[in-house]
Structure 1
Amino acid sequence: MDNDGDCSDEQSIVNMVQDCIGMIDGTHVDAMLPINLVARFRGRKGVTQNVLAACTPNKLFTYILAGWERILQDALSRPQPHGLRVYDGKYYLCDAGYPIMPGFISPYRGVRYHLKEHSGKTPKNRRELFNLRHSSLRSKIESAFGILKNCFKILCAKPHYPFHIQVDIVLACSILHNFIAIMDPSDELLNDDQFNEDIDGEVAFENDTNLVDFTQNQTQREQTKSRNEWKTLRDDIAWAMWVGYYDKYNHGVTIET
Structure 2
Amino acid sequence: MRPKAFFKLADVMRNHGFLKDTKHLQVEEQLAMFLCIVGHKTKNRVIRTEFIRSGETVSRYFNKILQAMNGLRDRYMKQAPNEILPEIVNNPNYFPYFKDCIGMIDGTHIDAMLPSNLVARFRGRKGVTQNVLAACTPNKLFTYVLAGWEGAANDYRILQDALSRPQPYGLRVYDGKYYLCDAGYTTMPGFISPYRGVRYHLKEQIGRTPRNSRELFNLRHSSLRSKIESTFGTLKNRFKILSAKPNYPFPTQVDIVLACTILHNFIAIEDPQDDILNENVLIDEENDDVTNEDDSSVVDFTQSRTQREERDARNEWKDLRDQIAWAMWVDYCAKYKDGDTTEIGL
Name the TM-score, length of structure 1 as normaliser.
0.87
**1:146-185 maps to which residues of 2 (within 5 A)?**
146-185=233-272
1:34 Cα deviation after fit: 2.2
Name the larger-Rg structure.
Answer: 2
Listed as ranges, the matches of 1:23-172 within 5 Å are 23-69=104-150, 70-172=157-259
Identity percentage of aligned residues: 77
Judging by fraction of residues, say which structure has more helix: 2
Q: Classify the secondary structure of the residue corresponding to 2:179.
A: strand
Question: Shift in Å at residue 104 of structure 1?
Answer: 0.9
Task: Specify the code of the residue in structure 2 equivalent to 1:113.
Answer: Y
1: CA distance, partners of 2:334 / 2:163: 39
Amino acid of the structure 2 residue aligned with 1:27: T
Give the distance between the partners of 1:246 and 1:99, measured in 2 at CA: 28
Aligned to 1:188: 275
Give the letter aligned to residue 34 of structure 1: P
Are residue 11 (structure 1) and residue 96 (structure 2) matched? no
Contact preservation (8 Å) 2:94, 2:220: no
Q: Does 1:197 align with 2:197?
A: no
Any idea what SS the aligned residue of 1:189 has?
coil
SS of aligned partner of 1:11: coil
Q: CA deviation at 1:13?
A: 3.4
**In structure 2, distance between residues paired with 1:227 and 1:94:** 14
Question: Structure 2 CA distance, aligned partners of 1:132 and 1:29?
Answer: 28
The Cα of 1:106 is off from its aligned counterpart by 0.4
The residue number in structure 2 matching 1:6 is none
**Higher mean C-alpha displacement, 176-185 vs 232-241:** 176-185
Work out whether residues 166 and 302 of structure 2, in 8 Å CA contact, stay in contact via their aligned partners in 1.
no
Q: Distance in 1 between matches of 2:322 and 2:216?
A: 11
Match of 1:5 in 2: none
Q: Is the 8 A contact 2:198 2:214 kept in 1?
A: yes
Is the CA contact 1:25–1:54 (under 8 Å) kept in the aligned structure 2?
yes
CA RMSD after TM alignment: 1.6
Partner SS state of residue 137, structure 1: helix
Deviation at 1:185, TM superposition (A): 2.0
Q: Deviations over 1:36-61 (max 9, x none)?
A: 22221111211111100111111111
Aligned to 1:4: none
Shift of 1:248: 1.9
Between 1 and 2, higher relative CO (CA 8 Å, sep ≥ 6) is seen in 1
Measure, in 2, the Cα distance between the counterparts of 1:64 and 1:11: 27
Structure 2 gaps, min length 5: 1-88, 151-156, 286-299
User: SS of the residue aligned with 1:14?
Assistant: coil
Amino acid at match of 1:224: R
CA distance in structure 1 between the aligned counterparts of 2:93 and 2:139, rounded to whole angstroms: 13
Indicate if the aligned counterparts of 1:66 and 1:171 stay in contact, CA closer than 8 A: yes
Shift of 1:96: 0.7
> SS state of the match for residue 247, structure 1?
helix
The Cα of 1:163 is off from its aligned counterpart by 1.1
Structure 1 portions without partners, runs of 5+? 1-8, 203-212
TM-score, normalised to structure 2, is: 0.65
Q: Distance in 2 between matches of 1:85 and 1:13?
A: 26
Instruction: Please report how far the alpha carbon of residue 12 of structure 1 lies from its aligned counterpart in structure 2 after TM superposition.
Output: 2.2
- What's the CA shift string for 1:135-158, capped at 9, x where partnerless? 001111001101100100011111
The one-letter code sitting in structure 2 at the alignment partner of 1:171 is L
